[in-house]
Amino acid sequence: MLSPEQIDEFEARGYLVLPRLIESADLASIREAALAIVDRFDPAAERTVFTTKDRDAGRDDAFFASAEGVHCFLEADALDASGQLRYPPRLAVNKIGHALHDRVPAFAAFCRLPQFAALLRDVGHVAPVLWQTMLIFKQPRIGGEVRWHQDATYLISEPACVTGLWIALEDARRDNGCLYVQPGGHRSPLRERYEVDWRARVGTLRTLDPSPWPTDDEAVALEVPAGTVVVFDDHLPHRSSHNHSATSRMAFTMHAAEQGAGWPERNWLQRPTLGDFPL
């Protein structure tokens, strides 16, 4: 599917942007499925907030359970001082994760689109298996910033072999929280690792390397139209800014690893009852 030049670009930069690769009807299928999940969501029963401002200290049992389920996580700014929702759920949910591909038929069908398997094989996978999926809303006005990070911090494979696919379901711009990346940054050290002590059910973000995160001059904004797919190396530093606009920036992410690679127990994401989801 990819040309030799595109493969070379991915290897040199650590990411590849493929504009308008996915048809609008396929994008609509998972947008509608996501909104149906939100409409069934009861925020009175579960109010887990997703934020990266606390160095992941706020991860709780609902977060760990989402590895094998479908859970809604709220924006921090969606709640008032007393913990009540300031917005209706469709405008308050930060993301849905993390086993959409296993639990929701529309997402399973979307992940089976042949483009995704072809992309993963072109960038070096022989037998890719899908570990994690997320629907990210980036809500108008309150869509929170996601700090600089590397995917291998949170998805530990031995050897490191996780590839991310980020699909724009809506246009992504600077003002509504588009992605920023550091070209070539995948060759930098892994700075942090998030590990879970399952006896205490506590996760810790541990510093591995003191290398600084990219400066503004080193960051490239990925302003892309709906239907674009961005392919990521798991060591590539990337972030997204706060959404200050009146429009959302919905996206879907998939993370795949090579079948047979080690997946240590210290990973927060475990799938003991689901098994492999080959692509």
Residue with tokens 């001059």: 217
pLDDT of residue 48: 76
pLDDT of residue 53: 62
Using DSSP, state whether 231 is helix, strand or coil: strand
d(Cα 176, Cα 83) in Å, to the nearest integer? 25
With contact defined as beta carbons under 8 Å apart, do 180 and 218 qualify?
Answer: no
- Rounded alpha-carbon distances, angstroms, from residue 46 to 5, 140, 148, 238, 270: 47, 22, 28, 29, 21
pLDDT of residue 256: 98
Angle, alpha carbons 67-70-72 (nearest 5°): 110
pLDDT of residue 41: 95
Task: Please report whether residue 248 resides in a domain.
Answer: yes
Quote the tokens at residue 253.
């992410």
The residue segments making up the domain with residue 110 are 4-258
* Domains of the chain: total: 1
| CATH number of the CATH domain containing 20 | 2.60.120.620
Q: Which of 85-88's residues contact partners 24+ apart within 8 Å by CB, and which partners? A: 85/43, 87/139, 87/142
Quote the tokens at residue 96.
């849905």
Residues ≥6 apart with Cβ < 8 Å to 25: none
Task: Please report whether residue 267 resides in a domain.
Answer: no
Using DSSP, state whether 108 is helix, strand or coil: helix
Task: Please report whether residue 272 resides in a domain.
Answer: no
Task: Please report whether residue 276 resides in a domain.
Answer: no
d(Cα 232, Cα 37) in Å, to the nearest integer? 27
d(Cα 225, Cα 240) in Å, to the nearest integer? 16
- Rounded alpha-carbon distances, angstroms, from residue 230 to 15, 39, 54, 243: 7, 29, 27, 19
pTM higher than 0.85: yes
CA dihedral 273, 68, 43, 197 (to 10 degrees): 100
State the 10-residue block means of pLDDT for the chain, 279 residues long: 98 98 98 98 81 71 94 93 91 97 98 98 98 98 96 98 98 98 98 96 96 97 98 98 96 98 97 96
pLDDT of residue 84: 87
Task: Please report whether residue 66 resides in a domain.
Answer: yes
Task: Please report whether residue 164 resides in a domain.
Answer: yes
Task: Please give the DSSP secondary-structure letter assigned to residue 212.
Answer: P
Phi, psi (5° rounding) for residue 202?
-130, 130
- Rounded alpha-carbon distances, angstroms, from residue 70 to 66, 116, 248: 6, 22, 21
pLDDT of residue 54: 67
With contact defined as beta carbons under 8 Å apart, do 248 and 138 qualify?
Answer: yes
Task: Please report whether residue 268 resides in a domain.
Answer: no
Task: Please report whether residue 196 resides in a domain.
Answer: yes
Q: How many residues in total does the chain contain?
A: 279
